[in-house]
């Protein structure tokens, strides 16, 4: 039966055989016949072991049969065939059982030596490809002129070191080297000699470094040195100063003697605050420029300047904390009005510092020092509390107003912001919460947008209004409007001030007004400085404004008198003829 049905397998380039569960051969093709020397007639009905040596027989009984019973197949098993002439032939077999009764086994038989030859050829090809890939990697990581690692290799090395820092106690110094006056050498002697100078500089640097240090050509006449080990400021400056002296020794090239110097900036790692590898390079580069400015041919440590800045900031924060205790801060209020009806809508609370010696200080002079500090958070609480206290007083006086307070992004991201705000509001139980509006600077919310959104939505849940300040200046304006429900958009003063002369700013302003309509938001324009601003804004559909043309920020005690004057005569005087 099998002979008639499977005769076409004679053309196969491998041996094909069928056996039963009693080891009888019931079919074999002619390729197999050519291998073992037995005729097909001799093998039909013969025992399988006729073709296998003793070791393979044992292998069949103890290993192959159990696998076939369990898995119904096995692949790439090495056996040894014994030919009719008693020669041995290594073979590779794969066997498949045709049904669950294990009555028929289908064999595929090939020469093991050929398989091994193919494997060896594939292995050689694989090794060759790996060698080529290694050469390409080395080429991509090597500066072709100097043979040093290039910028890409340095970046990989730094990444590995910073990652390893998390597991091991790794410390190092990173130095940025720039040759002084190298451009003049190129201009005077040509790029060919300049290239030779760079090659000699590379050799001189390498020969004066330790074996475990790394030097890379960063580009042009710039080199970066990676010094393994923990360094004090004094030790690293001493080591690099010796290197500068070596570089200052003359170079003799093509009968030309040249003298160069180098400026080196260095930064140390680890640092109190975790930094990225590229930031370390920028720090060293910045320090190198300081060395240039200081007269060249010297070493400058980045940490020296950084320490001075930190000390200055610490002193400024101490002065602000002392001013808070002394009650030197005060809120000024700038009105927001409807420029068509004259109605006073409310006021924005703006902090001022009554400095005992410097006079009245605007927030731009001291708020930057408070960014991301606990002192800044405490001052923010004081602003909200003071604004609510003043709002309560105005409402008791019969003034129909709301008050807005600026809130920076780092306040909103503080873990206790909502808890602190709830405690402040609890101190004013009779105050309508919708009278308070938080003005969020648009660009300040983008560090942790998801968290800020959840905080602001919680504030809206309390009844507090949310205003998106400086709208249009940040890169994520549309996503803010899409993902965050806000009550008011404030048009940034820069667009208002330039709309009379800049068609681009006017187009942006029209777009912001369109967004406000599309998202059903109130709209307030900042920076209304002249009558023409209000005329243009009203014509575009923005009726609410705030700016010096309306009123400058003023102390709270002056606000009631200003409202009276505004309603009596000032609105008519300023906006006469604006609305037909």
Do the domain assignments include residue 140? no
Same domain, 410 and 504: yes
Do the domain assignments include residue 401? yes
CA distances from 144 to 138, 140, 196, 200, 400 (A): 10, 9, 13, 14, 75
Same domain, 304 and 344: no
The Cα 321–Cα 10 span in angstroms is 97
What's 377's domain CATH number?
3.20.20.450
Q: Please tell me the total count of domains within the chain.
A: 3
Do the domain assignments include residue 459? yes
Same domain, 68 and 29: yes
Taking residue 375's Cβ as centre, other Cβ atoms within 10 Å add up to 15
Phi, psi dihedral angles at 523 (to 5 degrees)? -135, 130
Q: Which of 283, 309, 335 is the last residue of a domain?
A: 309
Do the domain assignments include residue 508? yes
Same domain, 394 and 365: yes
Q: Which of 61, 90, 116 is the last residue of a domain?
A: 116
Can you give the pLDDT at residue 492?
86
Can you give the pLDDT at residue 476?
46
Rounded to the nearest angstrom, the gap between the alpha carbon of residue 255 and the centroid of all alpha carbons in its chain is: 51
Give this prediction's pTM: 0.51
Residue among 74, 82, 78 at smallest CA distance from 113: 78
Do the domain assignments include residue 146? no
SS3 assignment, position 317:
helix
Can you give the pLDDT at residue 478?
57
Same domain, 333 and 237: no
Q: Which residue segment(s) compose the domain that 255 sits in?
A: 151-309
Same domain, 230 and 305: yes
Same domain, 205 and 354: no
329-367 b/e (C-beta count within 10 Å ≥ 16 → b): bebbbbbbbebeeeebbbbbbbbbbeeeeeeebeeeebb
Q: In the numeric block, which tokens belong to residue 548?
A: 């010096």
Whether 267 and 174 have beta carbons less than 8 Å apart is answered as yes
Residue among 83, 97, 14, 88 at smallest CA distance from 43: 83
Measured in Å, how far apart are the chain's first and last C-alpha atoms?
108
Same domain, 344 and 288: no
Q: Which of 309, 338, 370 is the last residue of a domain?
A: 309
Same domain, 41 and 181: no
Burial of 469: CB neighbours in 10 Å, binned 0-12, 13-18, 19+: buried
Do the domain assignments include residue 143? no
Q: Using only C-alpha atoms, what is the Rg of the chain?
A: 42
Collect the ranges in the chain with pLDDT lower than 50: 1-7, 444-445, 475-476
Can you give the pLDDT at residue 432?
93
The Cα 50–Cα 30 span in angstroms is 17
270 preceded by cis ω (within 30°)?
Answer: yes
What's 98's domain CATH number?
3.30.450.20
Give the β-pairing of 299-301 and 329-338.
unpaired
What's 266's domain CATH number?
3.30.70.270
Do the domain assignments include residue 284? yes
Site of tokens 């009631």: 560
Do the domain assignments include residue 174? yes
SS3 assignment, position 432:
coil
Beta bridge pairs of residue 544: 338
Which residues fall within 8 angstroms of residue 198, CB to CB, at 6 or more apart? 145, 146, 217, 221
SS3 assignment, position 415:
coil
Same domain, 200 and 282: yes
Same domain, 349 and 274: no
Can you give the pLDDT at residue 6?
46
Same domain, 506 and 400: yes
């Amino acid at each position: 039966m099998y002979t008639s049905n499977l005769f076409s397998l004679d053309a196969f380039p491998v041996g094909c055989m069928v056996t039963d569960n009693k080891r009888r051969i019931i079919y074999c093709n002619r390729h197999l016949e050519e291998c073992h020397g037995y005729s097909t007639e001799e093998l039909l009905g013969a025992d399988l072991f006729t073709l296998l040596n003793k070791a393979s027989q044992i292998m069949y009984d103890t290993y192959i049969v159990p696998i076939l019973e369990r898995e119904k197949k096995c692949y790439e098993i090495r056996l040894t065939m014994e030919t009719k002439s008693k020669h041995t032939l290594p073979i590779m077999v794969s066997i498949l059982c045709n049904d669950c009764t294990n009555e028929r086994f289908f064999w595929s038989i090939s020469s093991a030596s050929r398989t091994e030859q193919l494997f060896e050829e594939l292995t050689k090809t694989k090794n060759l490809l790996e060698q080529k890939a290694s050469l390409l990697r080395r080429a991509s990581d090597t500066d072709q002129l100097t043979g040093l690692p290039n910028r890409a290799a340095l970046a990989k090395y730094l990444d590995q070191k910073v990652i390893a820092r998390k597991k091991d106690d790794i410390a190092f110094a990173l130095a940025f080297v720039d040759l002084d006056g190298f451009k003049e050498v190129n201009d005077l002697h040509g790029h060919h000699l300049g290239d030779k100078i760079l090659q000699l500089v590379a050799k001189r640097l390498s020969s004066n470094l330790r074996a475990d240090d790394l030097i890379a050509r960063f580009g042009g006449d710039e080199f970066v040195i990676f010094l393994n080990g923990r360094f004090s400021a004094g030790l690293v400056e001493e080591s690099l100063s010796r290197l500068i002296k070596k570089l200052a020794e003359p170079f003799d090239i093509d009968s030309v003697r040249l003298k160069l110097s180098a400026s080196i900036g260095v930064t140390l790692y680890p640092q109190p605050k975790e930094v990225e590898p590229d930031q370390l390079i920028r720090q060293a580069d910045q320090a190198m420029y300081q060395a240039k400015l200081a007269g060249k041919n010297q070493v400058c440590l980045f940490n020296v300047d950084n320490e001075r800045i930190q000390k200055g900031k610490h002193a400024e924060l101490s002065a602000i904390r002392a001013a808070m205790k002394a009650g030197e801060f005060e809120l000024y209020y700038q009105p927001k009005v409807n420029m068509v009806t004259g109605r006073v809508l409310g006021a924005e609370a703006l902090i001022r510092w009554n400095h005992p010696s410097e006079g009245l200080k605007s927030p731009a002079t001291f708020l930057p020092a408070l960014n991301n500090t606990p002192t800044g958070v405490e001052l923010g609480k004081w602003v909200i509390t003071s604004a609510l206290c003043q709002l309560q007083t105005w409402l008791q006086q019969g003034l129909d107003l709301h008050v807005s307070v600026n809130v920076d992004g780092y306040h909103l991201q503080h873990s206790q912001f909502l808890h602190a705000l709830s405690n402040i509001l609890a101190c004013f139980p009779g105050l309508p919460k919708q009278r308070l509006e938080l003005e969020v600077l648009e660009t300040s919310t983008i560090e942790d947008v998801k968290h800020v959104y959840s905080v602001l939505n919680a504030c809206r849940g309390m009844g507090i209004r949310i205003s998106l300040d400086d709208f249009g200046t940040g890169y994520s304006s549309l996503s803010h409007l899409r993902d965050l429900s806000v009550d008011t958009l404030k048009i940034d003063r820069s667009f208002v001030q330039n709309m009379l002369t800049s068609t681009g700013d006017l187009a942006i302003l029209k777009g912001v007004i369109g967004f406000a309509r599309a998202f059903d938001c109130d709209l307030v324009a900042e920076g209304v400085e002249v009558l023409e601003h209000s005329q243009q804004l009203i014509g575009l559909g923005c009726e609410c404004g705030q700016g010096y043309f309306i009123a400058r920020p003023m102390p709270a005690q002056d606000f009631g008198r200003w409202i009276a004057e505004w309603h009596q005569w000032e609105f008519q005087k300023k906006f006469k003829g604006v609305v037909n």
